[in-house]
């Protein structure tokens, strides 16, 4: 039986950071259900002003928010600060997106009538947040949902509840009605109760593919509910005809090991021209050896901190060993530098000659290497996955990028840039096991409101010119 409390601890130290009693999904959904209609009835300008106040509250509390986020996730301070900045900027981006994607329009119509396109909110939307970006990613659902006139019940990850609670406190300090932004503290049981609740009108999810697929099955018999799934990736970075191998190594490290590899857009697979393999590995090894791995407040600032907890670290260590048993050749062994804490050094393993491939998202600092002899083989290797979130090509030849872009199967395709670091001012999503064609970020407006088309005339004038007998 789960305990009555959810307790959050700092990954870097193991110290207890936050604790609170588990919430009740029925109570939170009922409160949101009671409140959403009044919120939706306000003019859009009213909701815009309220959300801009929220951005100002976060700006005022940025230092405290950054510190809490860094402690709870283990992220370096510089990275936690960047996440808080995205929370602030999300408001203006969402306002622009709402106007562009779901704004009111008049459409030409015949016979003195007019055709109007407007959008309505769904009602009560549940948001399930992840631990890797515990404020940025759920906030990417919450802001557009509130802007459209929905109420939100937000359940943060049980691994990062303090950051989620702080986010909700900022909404309330800005004057967002308490009934319109509800916090559900809990673990998997509370998440399942919220997802299955009959009084939600939709679910906005960010997390693993396995959970997303289970939700997709659950909602298959509920076409009346909106379901937006933002899942993971087994993302490739392809290095081909580049003369600057140091820059290529930097892009690989940034792609694979930022946030200790705990990004859905992280590069999991490096696909490299056989001719470049040895010199690229030499550059990569030197660069990895220079990475500072430490606690969030360390000086000098670390490149990466720990993974989220010891369970995750143990799973990743076991996964690296499993890759070895499949025939992988270690290029750089993964290590646990601090006993009892979930710090990991990056692991790199050549899987070219392995007797088995694993198409899973290893959510941490593990990079698998595949050597190929032709660019067509590189694209085929990159596409050899059920996922399709992000992919990147490091190459000098624009024609190669054109070929890569045309043939790669992913929702984010980059050239001489990392696989991660997507902009909130663009859509974010993938294909296959990476999502259900409901891209978030700039396109979140699409799933937070539904279109209503009206044919309108100021008076009832009608006639029938066919199919009637003479009077």
Q: Alpha carbon of 205 to those of 63, 435, 446: distances in Å?
A: 28, 10, 15
- Cα 62 to Cα 149: distance, rounded to the nearest angstrom: 26
Catalytic residue among 28, 83, 158, 230: 230
- Please name the residues in contact with 395: beta carbons below 8 A apart, sequence gap of 6 or more: 238, 239, 240, 241, 242, 401, 404, 415, 416
Of 264, 295, 381, 448, the active-site residue reads 264
264 catalytic, yes or no?
yes
Catalytic (active site) residue 356: no
The catalytic residue positions are 230, 264
């Amino acid at each position: 039986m789960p305990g009555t409390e959810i307790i959050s601890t700092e990954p870097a130290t193991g110290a207890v950071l936050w604790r609170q009693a588990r919430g009740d999904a029925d109570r939170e959904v009922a409160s949101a259900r009671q409140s959403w209609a009044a919120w939706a009835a306000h003019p859009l300008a009213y909701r815009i002003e309220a959300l801009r106040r929220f951005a100002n509250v976060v700006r005022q509390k940025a230092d405290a928010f950054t510190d809490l986020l860094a402690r709870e996730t283990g992220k370096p301070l510089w990275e936690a600060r960047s996440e808080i900045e995205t929370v602030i900027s999300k408001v203006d981006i969402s306002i622009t997106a709402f106007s562009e994607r779901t704004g009111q329009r008049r459409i030409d119509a015949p016979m003195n009538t007019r055709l109007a396109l407007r959008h309505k909110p769904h009602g009560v939307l549940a948001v399930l947040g992840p631990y890797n970006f515990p404020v940025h990613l759920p906030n990417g659902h919450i802001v557009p949902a509130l802007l459209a006139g929905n109420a939100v019940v937000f359940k943060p990850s049980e691994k990062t509840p303090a950051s989620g609670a702080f986010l909700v406190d900022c909404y309330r300090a800005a004057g967002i009605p308490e009934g319109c932004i509800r916090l559900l503290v809990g673990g998997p049981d509370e998440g399942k109760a919220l997802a299955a609740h009959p009084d939600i009108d939709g679910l906005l999810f960010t997390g693993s593919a396995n959970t997303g697929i289970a939700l997709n099955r659950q909602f298959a018999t509920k076409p009346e509910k909106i379901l937006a799934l933002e899942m993971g990736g087994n993302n490739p970075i392809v290095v081909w005809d580049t003369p600057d191998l140091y820059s290529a190594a930097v892009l690989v490290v940034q792609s694979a090991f930022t946030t200790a590899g705990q990004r859905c857009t992280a590069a999991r697979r490096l696909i490299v021209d056989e001719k470049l393999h040895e010199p690229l590995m030499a550059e990569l090894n030197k660069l990895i050896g220079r990475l500072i791995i430490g606690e969030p407040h360390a000086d000098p600032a670390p490149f990466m901190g720990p993974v989220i907890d010891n369970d995750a670290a143990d799973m990743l260590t076991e996964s690296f060993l499993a890759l070895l048993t499949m025939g992988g050749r270690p290029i750089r062994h993964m290590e646990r530098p601090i006993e009892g804490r979930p710090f990991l050094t990056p692991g790199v393993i050549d899987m070219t000659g392995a007797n088995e491939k694993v198409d899973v998202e290893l959510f941490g600092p593990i990079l698998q290497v595949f050597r190929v002899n032709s660019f067509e083989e590189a694209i085929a290797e990159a596409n050899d996955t059920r996922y399709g979130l992000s992919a990147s090509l490091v190459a000098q030849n624009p024609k190669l990028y054109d070929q890569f872009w045309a043939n790669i199967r992913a929702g984010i395709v980059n050239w001489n840039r990392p696989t991660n670091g997507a902009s909130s001012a663009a859509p974010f999503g993938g294909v296959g096991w990476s999502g259900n064609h409901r891209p978030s970020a700039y396109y979140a407006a699409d799933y937070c409101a539904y279109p209503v088309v009206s044919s309108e005339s100021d008076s009832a004038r009608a006639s029938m010119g066919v199919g009637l007998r003479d009077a």
